[in-house]
Amino acid sequence: MIVSTQVVEIPEFRMDCGVTLTQVSIAYEMYGTMNADASNVILVEHAFTGDAHAAGISDEDGRPGWWDLMIGPGKAFDTDRFCVICSNVLSGCKGTTGPASINPETGRPYGMSFPVTTISDMVRLQRALLDVLGVKKLLCVAGGSMGGMQVLEWAVSYPEDVHSAIPIATTARHSAQQIAFNEVARQSIMVDPAWNQGDYYGSEAPKRGLAVARMVGHITYMSDESMREKFGRRLRGQGMVDANEEYIFEVESYLRYRGSQFVGRFDANSYIYITRALDTFDLFESQKLVRLDPSSTRFLVISFTSDWLYPSYQSQEVVNLLRAANHDIAYVELTSNYGHDAFLVDVAQQTDVIRGFLNSVSRNLGISNYALREGVH
């Protein structure tokens, strides 16, 4: 399945901070076929450094989508039955407007003059995209990590527009530890002299700081166990001639490599803006979750045993709150050694529970214009 990213332009977009952006681009991809009444649409939300390319093979670089294991014919999000849409978030750098975009008022990149962005802004821009695409109500909105936060935000911002929601490996608010890791990443970028207060477009980017930020991220995405299994204490180099370059553990060279690769595909200012959006997100403080009408949306909440970045207790906080208010909510804690990465790579059990949930949602809605093909694949 060769796919290409599309871009829609939204003429005006008012942000939570009060600023109105003009000529806002939003990049998206679509998989499967939308039915006549657009009742089979699933919106998939990407995580922090993800993009609109969630599935299939990119016509640009030949890479598979970040959730290609989960989206496609016969997969968890079955494109023979559902129309799956994924868009790049506001303040990102993969086709949607963000700090690296040209400010139409100045003709220069926004940089740090880009307005402070919230998860709610990201979701409202997606609502605008779906208006353009003619989608009123989503069969489901699903995603992991920051994608899960957007799922929760959809449920509270547009309860009438969301039949069902699948927040995975996520939280309704960051803990002090999660904020702390993000702050280390931000500081790492901002102390790189090349960052230059965010004004580096056209010159050298703060690649060294961004690479270190990404290295921290990778540690938190894996578990102690999965790092031991993958790297252990194996050496890449030999001997101990030099304090730094000769005695290299595989885990070090892996992190350095991942860090160095990342800087070619991600914008440092987007890293700052998106981590800010993550840290300031708080559905408990805003009381939005507790006020939600229990009749609006069905929930399936998923967490993973070895995920210490978004530990299960954070999912359970959401589950307990909504259950106490009589919401229709299922919760599954899946066993995995992959840590936070589990939602991306450990898909067998995830597929089972999501397929079952989507079948149930579809049946209850009496959606009949496409066949339920359970068990075919």
255 counts as binding a second copy under rule CB under 8 A:
yes
List b or e across 112-146, with b for residues whose CB sees 16 or more CB atoms inside 10 angstroms: eebbebbbbbbbbbbebbbeebebeebbbbbbbbb
- Check: CB of residue 270 under 8 Å from CB of residue 206: no
Segment contacting a second copy (CB under 8 A): 35-43, 124-132, 149-157, 275-283?
Answer: 275-283
Out of 46, 163, 174, 340, which one is annotated catalytic? Answer: 340
Residue closer to a second copy (CB basis): 288 or 355:
288
Which position among 127, 137, 276, 323 is part of the footprint of a second copy (CB under 8 A)? 276
Report yes or no: 255 and 218 within 8 Å, Cβ to Cβ.
yes
- Verify binding: residue 272, a second copy, rule CB under 8 A: yes
How far is C-alpha 107 from the geometric centre of its chain's CA atoms?
30
Stretch touching a second copy by CB under 8 A, among 78-86, 252-260, 290-298, 368-376: 252-260
- Contact status: 109 vs a second copy (CB under 8 A): no
Nearer to a second copy, 17 or 345 (CB): 17
Set 91, 101, 120, 145: catalytic member: 145
Q: Which of 127, 196, 231, 337 touches a second copy (CB under 8 A)?
A: 231
**What's the rounded Cα separation, in Å, for the pair 27 and 342?**
26
According to CB under 8 A, which one of 106, 203, 238, 244 is a site residue for a second copy? 244
Q: What DSSP string describes 91-116? A: T-SSSS--TTSEETTTTEE-GGGSPP
Q: Is 288 in the site for a second copy (CB under 8 A)?
A: no
State yes or no: is 340 an active-site residue: yes
Q: Does 187 engage in binding with a second copy (CB under 8 A)? A: yes
Amino acid symbol at 216: V
- Which of 19, 38, 219, 372 is the binder for a second copy (CB under 8 A)? 219
**Contact in structure between 362 and 355 (CB atoms under 8 Å):** no
CB–CB of 294/135 below 8 Å?
no
Distances (CA, A) of 374 to 73, 141, 358, 360, 365: 12, 20, 11, 11, 16
Token code pair at residue 17: 């901070």
Chain residues binding a second copy by CB under 8 A are: 17, 112, 114, 116-117, 173-177, 179-181, 183-184, 186-188, 190-193, 208-209, 211-212, 215-216, 218-219, 222, 224, 227-228, 230-233, 240-244, 247, 249, 251-252, 255-256, 259, 272-273, 276, 279-280, 282, 285, 308, 311
Active site residues: 145, 307, 340
